[in-house]
Amino acid sequence: MLKTALLLLMISSLSGCVTSSIATNKSDGLKGPYHKIFIVIHSTERVARFSVPWMDAVRKEFDQRGIALKVYEVSGREDESLSLTSQNTNDEVNSQINEFQPEVVLLIALKKIEAYGGVQIGRPGSNGATFDMRLFTREDNKTPVWRAKFEVFGDYGVSMAVSKGTRTFLDQLEKDNIIAPGN
């Protein structure tokens, strides 16, 4: 009986250690589902343990659904991660967007990092992040047709945060008709 109670306590504590949420707003200009998407993600080294495998999981899901996807990753220091200060970077992003000819461009910008508490061993990391997302159509690259605040937090392992974050993200894209539902 005691072993069963301890096992249930462990399972419930581990499952509650990863949270992922997304709040969105969309305009009437959103005419999905889309089949060709370009993503620009701004991140930092501290969040790369999540953002890199998360983008890999999103790529895999999009590929399985037949959605053409190109991702451009901009990584830098925390104080510059939201800025494309280099004209060369701007030119490179614009060139790749023009070459790929997507239906929509999704900008994902790191807004907040939740840092580990206590003693940390190894490279600096984080166990949570908040991203601001804006979706633009080819016809209007100034006014987003969709906007989201995506939050992910996990105490025990990046893989669980990546898995739950990917599911939350894809479910919301389906719900908001940005991508077609998967099989």
Cβ atoms of 20 and 151 within 8 Å: the answer is yes
> Does 20 fall in a domain?
no
* 1: helix, strand or coil: coil
Confirm whether 121 is domain-assigned.
yes
Number of domains making up the chain: 1
Please give the share of the chain, as a percent, with pLDDT higher than 90: 50
In a domain, 183, yes or no: no
Q: What is the CATH number of the domain that holds 62?
A: 3.40.50
**pLDDT for the residue 157:** 65
CA angle, 174 then 178 then 183, to 5°: 40
The range of the structural domain enclosing residue 63 comes to 29-175
**Cα atoms in the 13 Å half-sphere on the side-chain side of 166:** 19
Say how far apart CA 165 and CA 10 lie, in whole Å.
22
> Tens digits of per-residue pLDDT, 149-173?
999 887 666 778 888 999 999 999 9
- Residue 63 sits at φ, ψ, to 5 deg, of -60, -45
**Does the structure show a pLDDT above 50 at 129?**
yes
Count the Cβ atoms, other than its own, within 10 Å of residue 55. Answer: 20
Asked if residue 53 belongs to a domain, the reply is yes
